[in-house]
Amino acid sequence: MQINLFRSFIVLMACSLFPQACSSTDNTAATFFLDQAMTQTEIDSLQPGDPAYAMVDREDGVRMVPITLGHRYTSGSNDYLTFKDDSAQFGSGDSGAPILNSGGKTMGALSGTYGGDNIVITPITAMLTSVGSGTLAAAAAVSRSASLQGAGIEQNKLAWFATGVDAEGRTMLRSAGIPVSDLDPQLALSNAARAYAPQAAANAMTYSVAAGRSMAVVPFSGPRVNIYAIGTATHAIDTDRIIAFGHSLNWDGQPTFSMPVTPAKVVQFVHDPVYGSFKLAVPVGEIMGGIVLDRSKGILVSRTANVSLVELKVNAGGSTTTHRVSRIDDQGLLGSFIGSGLTSVVRGQFDIAYPGDHQTSVTVTHIDSTTTTTDLGMVSWSGSGGWQVWDVVMPVFSTANKIEVTVN
């Protein structure tokens, strides 16, 4: 039996840093402090029929949903807990949602499904082991691919959302293996989708990151285009480090530059009979950490991560906009963000779907303040102009501080 992982992203900050983020619309949640993880002995003693709670983030706040544990799913050395979801209450974006025992301890994270309505829980002990927490550091070197092969798990890509990215841009993302949703975000998000950036900073404390709260991973952001993924936080190891997700991200290892994470506001939980249920949310506020480790059973987020952003300035169609692009080690992934995002920004500023060929130049300002300018000549922005810019930028992206693209 294969497990289909919920396609989402997650992260969190300690409740002690942001106590107001730990409030809930359910009074039951007040009895859960989310500061203790169950031991392996405690997890081994769990039986089918034992009561538990799933802590999920929804439009009206964090809910404590009563669940009943089912049988265990075991494959090789991998052991997962399960429960039934007969009413389709959970979906993509809930990966990482804390699962608590009746005493309020974290037993693991909601991480996927198998066999229809069986929900998979990745035990918290396995998550901590996978990121090498404390005395478990020796296990941190276990690769994602080896773990997945041993468990017979088929790793899904994450569910990304893209606002302001046109149809061609979405095709570019999908060609890079990033399954951006076909849902028109404006139908559900309206102006909230554009709230990421300065105007959302005022709401940052309202949507601070904490266990059970939604988080966004945002590699490309700005006034016209945002590319991001949504998930849920699991457990604070300490005031700096967060364990999350219950399954891997997109790569294995320790990235040199951490993908930025922000709080997120849930807009709607969508029951989709075709693509499956998912949590639609938008990033809000400022960057509050970054992903520093990616493992088969979870990711590790640090508040003090090396998050580095490159300023992307676009002069086109008589207007100028400035976006932010995350530095990432995976050049193919990063190239798809810049290619699809930049092309959509240029097209949007020309205010027509296919602006045709235009004289284009790229100026890169490096960290040491030196600059280089490349004249690309006539570039077809009705095609994949963003990729042509990326070909120029890629060799120097790790040392770039600002990229300015001018399209006449």
CATH number at residue 394: 3.10.20
For residues 280 and 326, membership in a common domain is answered with no
Query: Which residues touch 286 (CB under 8 Å, ≥6 apart)?
Result: 201, 204, 262
Q: 28-37, 166-175, 312-321 — which is least confidently predicted?
A: 28-37
Of 304, 323, 342, the last residue of a domain is 304
For residues 38 and 185, membership in a common domain is answered with yes
Range of the domain at 353: 310-407
Q: Is the dihedral of CA 38, 13, 399, 248 positive or negative?
A: positive
For residue 317, what pLDDT is reported?
A: 92
Distance, in Å, from the CA atom of 300 to the CA atom of 259, rounded to the nearest integer, reads: 11
Q: How far is CA 88 from CA 21, 92, 107, 279, in A?
A: 26, 11, 21, 12
Q: Can you give the pTM of this predicted structure?
A: 0.81
Q: How confident is the model at residue 252 (pLDDT cuts 50, 70, 90)?
A: low
Beta bridge partners of 262: 216
Count of structural domains, the chain: 2
* Residue 127 DSSP SS3: helix
For residues 236 and 330, membership in a common domain is answered with no
For residue 16, what pLDDT is reported?
A: 31
3-state secondary structure 146-172: HHHHHHCCECCCCCEEEECCCHHHHHH
Of 247, 270, 304, the last residue of a domain is 304
Distance, in Å, from the CA atom of 262 to the CA atom of 209, rounded to the nearest integer, reads: 8
Question: Which H or E element spans position 140?
Answer: none
Q: What tokens appear for 153 in the block?
A: 């798990």
For residue 101, what pLDDT is reported?
A: 95
Residue 48 has pLDDT above 80, yes or no: yes
Residue 256 has pLDDT above 50, yes or no: yes
Higher pLDDT, 209 or 337: 337
Mean pLDDT of 216-243: 90
Q: What tokens appear for 89 in the block?
A: 């209450």
For residue 220, what pLDDT is reported?
A: 94
For residues 223 and 265, membership in a common domain is answered with yes
Residue 401 has pLDDT above 60, yes or no: yes
* Residue 121 DSSP SS3: strand
Q: What tokens appear for 176 in the block?
A: 């890079």
Mean pLDDT of 12-23: 32
Among residues 109, 145, 146, 99, the alpha carbon closest in space to that of 10 is found at: 109
* Residue 331 DSSP SS3: helix
For residue 390, what pLDDT is reported?
A: 92
Residue with tokens 């949703």: 181
For residues 297 and 330, membership in a common domain is answered with no
For residues 166 and 34, membership in a common domain is answered with yes
Distance, in Å, from the CA atom of 305 to the CA atom of 366, rounded to the nearest integer, reads: 22
Distance, in Å, from the CA atom of 57 to the CA atom of 268, rounded to the nearest integer, reads: 10
For residue 253, what pLDDT is reported?
A: 66
For residues 352 and 288, membership in a common domain is answered with no
Q: Using alpha carbons only, how large is the chain's radius of gyration in Å?
A: 21
Distance, in Å, from the CA atom of 5 to the CA atom of 99, rounded to the nearest integer, reads: 16
Higher pLDDT, 258 or 17: 258
Beta bridge partners of 281: 266
Residues 169-214: tens digit of each pLDDT: 888 888 887 778 776 555 555 544 444 444 444 444 467 777 888 8
For residues 278 and 384, membership in a common domain is answered with no
